[in-house]
Structure 1
Amino acid sequence: MSAARLIEPIDGKPGVTILPEAENWMQGRTLYGGASALVAYTAAIRAFPELPPLRAAQVGFVAPVGIEVELNAEIVRQGRNVAQVRSEIRSGGTVALTAFWLFGTERDANAVHPAPQAEDWHGPPDGEEPLSLDKAPSFLGKNFELRRAQDVRGKGKPVVRRWMRLKEPSGLDPVSELILLGDTLPPGAMRAMRRQGPISSINWSFNLLEPAPATSDGWWLAETASEWADLGYSSERLRLWNSEGRQMLAGMQSVAIFG
């Protein structure tokens, strides 16, 4: 179930595309967030292949993304160093996802400091406990391996941290793989929920900290952390580190908490 297969027919031209094997990446009625964002990102970079490296993105999850989609991408502005591109997915006759991508060339550094290492860092994933995905959404069990990366279980501090990797090589470039993985875990707020109920990502904004992210043996440390939850919503911080503990992605998300 290579992720590259999902985006294979996207040619960068506006129009209708049928996504191969999309059923393997569905969460209920929609492609899950990372897969949906990957489709929109691919539409952008295949429409405009000469773009500089991706630096940041803002993704709005508007409606379910199905197997048959209509894709479009346009350059909003291109300056000497930065290009801003908007891409859109329409599904079932309506806008399902809208995304704004920021690409930028490298500049001489005028401020330098590293991103923080993950709190309670346990070291690389070797020897960490594999997690059963029997009760997880089907796309997780079909495509991912997860290992434990924190001691807490069940209720507690609203943080979910897991080692994760794809079961099969993705066939993607490193940035595309990070987009696919970056919105995969459930929200940290699930540890604070008073009762079980549906959850739904509303948006996702992120900055890439490395233009060419890399890790060992496919493993990435993913974290979702609820910084505030009330009134049916949670404000979440999403982060990804590589196997050496270097942060690759910093993000933020609004999540609807139902039930």
Structure 2
Amino acid sequence: MTPVMSTANLLDPITADAGETHFSGLDHWMQGRTLYGGASALIAYTAVTRAFPDLPPLRGAQIAFVAPTGPEMELRREVVRQGRNVAQVRSEIWCEGTCALTAFWLFGTDREPNALHDAAAVDEWPGAPEEAEPAMHGKGPAFIQNNFEILRAQEQQGPGAPVVRRWARLTERSGLDPVSELILMGDVLPPGAMRAMQRQGPLSSINWSFNLLDSAPATRDGWWLAETASQHADAGYSSERLRLWNADGKQILDGMQCVAVFG
């Protein structure tokens, strides 16, 4: 699988200035009629960090996928409040006069810990990615086939417990900092509700919120263990927990998502 252009090139049009921005070569990042959620979230995040380069490390975000995102975007961002330790920043993507994505980013400096404990170890550790078999080869949306390597990380296939777990990494990571890589990776798997659907149909992410558990995330050879797990599904929606671990089993990202379940 060879990307049409490097992942870093996706971000080239973004400058420190707000306003109209044209993105080319997005075909391999599309998911249906909209840009893949991780890519649009990364654009919104990069718009913030290039406008405000002195922000402390990212700690968390709330992102709403409001409408389809295309190549012609208006990028907006503003510092809502910057205190001694914490800065909160809003960014938006507008397309064709409509807000397509709105995000709230939380940045914070390191402080001496008062509460201190590690995240729980991953249940049913699948083994190292070097030992895993390929998954989703020739399947899934074009953005996965063009930009990601996916490996199996659970025995289950098909219907059953509403959990999807895979090893994943970007095929092209050069020029991308680790936090940007995680934002691009965080929404890569289909929702866990996929395994509980009574009939096939589309699913669509509505929002995504996450906390970063490490301000300097790192892993081995780009591999991250990704998991989506439906906590509750009914009335056409699923509440999902999204998590990422590094190749040594350390949890790096903890998130939640609301997904629309159609069909």
Please tell me the TM-score bracket, short chain as reference: over 0.9
Matched ranges for 1:1-259 at <5 A = 1-259=5-263
1:166 CA drift (Å): 1.0
| 2:176 counterpart SS class | coil
1:117 CA drift (Å): 2.0
The aligned amino acid for 1:71 is L
The aligned amino acid for 1:66 is G
Q: Is the contact made by 1:123 and 1:245 (CA closer than 8 Å) also made in structure 2?
A: no
Q: Is the contact made by 2:232 and 2:239 (CA closer than 8 Å) also made in structure 1?
A: yes
| 1:56 counterpart SS class | strand
Regions of 4+ moved over 6 Å:
none
Distance 1:62 1:170, change over 3 A: farther
The aligned amino acid for 1:190 is M
Query: Which 5+ residue runs of structure 2 have no aligned equivalent?
Result: none
Aligned partners of 1:29 and 1:146: how far apart in 2? 23
1:36 CA drift (Å): 0.7
Q: Is the contact made by 1:17 and 1:68 (CA closer than 8 Å) also made in structure 2?
A: yes
CA displacement, residues 54-83 of structure 1 (integer Å, 9 cap, x when unaligned): 001000000001011110110000000000
The aligned amino acid for 1:103 is F
The aligned amino acid for 1:104 is G
| 1:126 counterpart SS class | helix
Q: Is the contact made by 2:211 and 2:253 (CA closer than 8 Å) also made in structure 1?
A: yes
1:156 CA drift (Å): 0.7
TM-score (structure 2 length as normaliser): 0.97
Q: Is the contact made by 1:158 and 1:191 (CA closer than 8 Å) also made in structure 2?
A: yes
Aligned partners of 2:94 and 2:137: how far apart in 1? 31
Aligned partners of 2:166 and 2:197: how far apart in 1? 19
* % identical equivalent positions: 68
The aligned amino acid for 1:183 is D
Query: Which 5+ residue runs of structure 1 have no aligned equivalent?
Result: none
TM-score (structure 1 length as normaliser): 0.98
Aligned partners of 1:74 and 1:17: how far apart in 2? 17
Aligned partners of 1:138 and 1:5: how far apart in 2? 18
CA displacement, residues 69-118 of structure 1 (integer Å, 9 cap, x when unaligned): 11011000000000000000001221000000000000100011101222
1:133 CA drift (Å): 3.0
Aligned partners of 1:7 and 1:203: how far apart in 2? 22
1:13 CA drift (Å): 1.1
CA displacement, residues 203-234 of structure 1 (integer Å, 9 cap, x when unaligned): 00000001010000110000000000000000
Q: Is the contact made by 1:229 and 1:235 (CA closer than 8 Å) also made in structure 2?
A: yes
Aligned partners of 1:112 and 1:134: how far apart in 2? 44
| 1:44 counterpart SS class | helix
